[in-house]
Amino acid sequence: MKYVIVYWSRYGNGKKVVDSLAGKLKEKGAETKIYTTDEADPVAMPKADVYIFSAATEAFNIRKDMRAFMKNLKGMEERKYGIINTHGMKKDRLQKMEKLLSKKKMEKVASVDFQVGDGSQTGNGLMEGWEAKLDEFVGQL
Ligand SMILES: Cc1cc2nc3c(=O)[nH]c(=O)nc-3n(C[C@H](O)[C@H](O)[C@H](O)COP(=O)(O)O)c2cc1C
């Protein structure tokens, strides 16, 4: 299996999640590539079995860099995806990602959100139990 992960993270909490995810996928023998939204090219995405998009909520929505990236995606019809959202408040914004990717005719296989708390501005805000939650997500990919 080949996975391509694209993420946006301000403080490092989301980065910690995708780095851990990549490690877990590699342990399963998968090939995994990670890019930030700045590094990846939405009109020339490398081939993969599943694409994973991860971003923080900012201003009650998915961070604008990720929304722009998703809006610009081309040639992704029928490709599979998983989505990850980190957020400081109780509510996740996964549906915002889902809506943008359904417009690209992509197919969802998994989604997960992580609330951040104390220490989030140092990249250490993930709540207890986040790794178990991530394992469950990995099981769905
Ligand atoms: C400018 C700004 C706006 C934010 N707005 C929201 C928000 O509307 N809702 C929310 O749940 N979290 C909000 N947050 C918290 C972020 O979601 C949180 O810092 C982020 O998920 C942490 O992940 P990161 O370390 O990968 O950036 C905001 C954070 C910043 C810096």
The Cβ of residue 122 has, within 10 Å, a number of other Cβ atoms equal to: 10
Specify the CATH number for the domain of residue 124.
3.40.50.360
- Select from 53, 87, 94, 114 the residue to mutate for testing ligand 1; criterion: most ligand atoms less than 8 Å from CB: 87
Atom 5 in ligand 1: which residue has the minimum CA distance?
58
* CA geometry: angle 22, 4, 30, nearest 5 deg: 55
Q: Are 5 and 18 in contact (CB under 8 A)?
A: yes
Q: What is the pLDDT of residue 35?
A: 98
Cα(78)–Cα(88) distance, integer angstroms: 32
Cα first-last separation, the chain: 10
Is the Cβ atom of 59 under 6 angstroms away from ligand 1?
Answer: yes
The pTM (predicted TM-score) of the whole model is 0.98
Q: Are 125 and 114 in contact (CB under 8 A)?
A: no
Burial of 86 (0-12, 13-18, 19+ CB in 10 A): buried
Q: What is the pLDDT of residue 107?
A: 98
Q: What is the pLDDT of residue 75?
A: 97
- Per-residue pLDDT 10s for the chain (141 aa) are 999 999 999 999 999 999 999 999 999 999 999 999 999 999 999 999 999 999 999 999 999 999 999 999 999 999 999 999 999 999 999 999 999 999 999 999 999 999 999 999 999 999 999 999 999 999 999
How many structural domains comprise the chain? 1
- Domain extent, residue 91, equals 2-140
